[in-house]
Chains A and B, each alone.
Chain A
């Protein structure tokens, strides 16, 4: 992996699961500034404390408490970073929402909220930062194998992740000539809180752990990643 001590990374959905794991990995790899975005919670507080305890003297962690289901709040995050002169080198769009229900039960509002967190928030963060002059070196969009094949009860979630995968493909082409890599990862079954909502009866110890996905991401941040990330990457145990 390249030297990231002068780099800034922003990870959404940073309180738990894959977001927290990748945040910790980046700090261990000596990132200069880590910004985690998540809704306020005890878990977020604990994660920040854990990551801060791993920080060296020239490393900084910033917590932004925000709900990405609110598009105005999402836009304000990007606008504040620009106003503060912070350049995001690595963006990890990891925050995810799901309310798995059949088409008979799901509400339009749930579809909107799923799209808002899983698709519109990444779009807004990337667009506002780009239009404000931010130079990304690497954008990760965390999609899902659920976006490759829909499953009964997951219409809202699967469609949002399929859209995120397709958006990543378009952005990969658009931004490569401008010097930004766009990597789309689609984890399969991974022991996160979101997975518990999707599959409440599953034993989380028997499936892929968030740290495994974080390992894949830090590997992809190296030059070798160029040879791998030309397509959506499935990560599964």
Chain B
């Protein structure tokens, strides 16, 4: 069985709205409801752990009730960083496997979760190709190119991800003890010696970061996949 750890605590300042971006609406429906509705359709997901932007818990709980989300949800206060948030949320995970996703990717489909659940590896991340050319900076030399990276050998790490819960918890414990910082969880699990596989995900499942992304998601939400 799986717990969905849904990162929902961000304020989304880059979108520039009067409320956290996950409470904006696509086709009239709040953004954070979309992944919860998809989770409801997947029998293997038996629980959800979700955080919330400070001051928005009551509103979010009311909306969850209105949209009749069936999977039991545990709410967790937002942490100081993304890493701290996941660490805190993992305390409430009791299932063997954890799926990590974020509310700012509303156009996730059942297929995206299923691709991970049905994968034989314990730890799997969704990825996309790197769609641009990347060069390295020269260390210690101001505004100098120091090397060329072959983009075909690089991965653009996306969510959702699947982890064996014990492995993910252990990575977070080790990172906390060592004071290491990671921007996402596949990096942490890999860095402490566990294997992480990858799959290519759907392009629709993109992250809403800026105002333009909200417009694009609104457009795509009105079209069948």
Contact = CB atoms under 8 A, between A and B. Distances in A.
Contacts, number: 32
B174 interface: no
A134 B65 CA distance: 13
A31 B81 CA distance: 52
Contact of B27 (A132, A133, A174, A226): A174
Interface string B59-72: 00000011110100
B222 A130 contact: no
A81 to B, nearest CB: 14
Contact of B29 (A132, A133, A134, A174): A174
A70 interface: no
A176 B68 contact: no
Interface string A57-96: 0000000000000000000000000000000000000000
Contacts of A134: 68
Interface residues of A, number: 13
Contacts of B224: 176, 226
Contacts of A53: none
17 contacts: A130-B67, A130-B68, A131-B66, A133-B68, A133-B70, A170-B28, A173-B27, A173-B28, A174-B27, A176-B27, A176-B221, A176-B224, A177-B26, A177-B27, A177-B222, A179-B37, A179-B41
A178 interface: yes
B39 to A, nearest CB: 13
B43 to A, nearest CB: 14
- Most chain-A Cβ atoms within 10 A of its Cβ — which of B27, B34, B70, B221? B27
Contacts of B29: 174, 177-178
Interface string A156-180: 0000000000000010011011110
Contacts of A170: 28
The 6 closest A-B pairs by CB, nearest first: A133-B68, A177-B221, A174-B28, A173-B27, A177-B27, A131-B68
B220 to A, nearest CB: 9
A65 to B, nearest CB: 28
The majority secondary structure among interface residues of chain A is: helix
Nearest to B106: A177
Interface in B4-43: 26-29, 34, 37, 41
Given A131-B65, A134-B68, 18 more contacts: A131-B68, A132-B68, A133-B68, A133-B70, A170-B28, A173-B27, A174-B27, A174-B28, A176-B27, A176-B221, A176-B222, A176-B224, A177-B26, A177-B27, A177-B29, A177-B34, A177-B222, A226-B224
A75 to B, nearest CB: 16
B68 A173 contact: no
A226 B224 CA distance: 9
A125 to B, nearest CB: 15
Contacts of B37: 178-179
A178 B70 CA distance: 14
Interface string B99-143: 000000000000000000000000000000000000000000000
A130 B65 CA distance: 11
Interface string B68-106: 101000000000000000000000000000000000000
Contacts of A173: 27-28, 222
B207 to A, nearest CB: 17
Contacts of B27: 173-174, 176-177
Nearest to B33: A178
Contacts of A130: 67-68
Interface in A174-189: 174, 176-179
B63 to A, nearest CB: 11
B85 to A, nearest CB: 27
Nearest to A171: B28
Contacts of A177: 26-27, 29, 34, 221-222
Interface string A102-146: 000000000000000000000000000011111000000000000
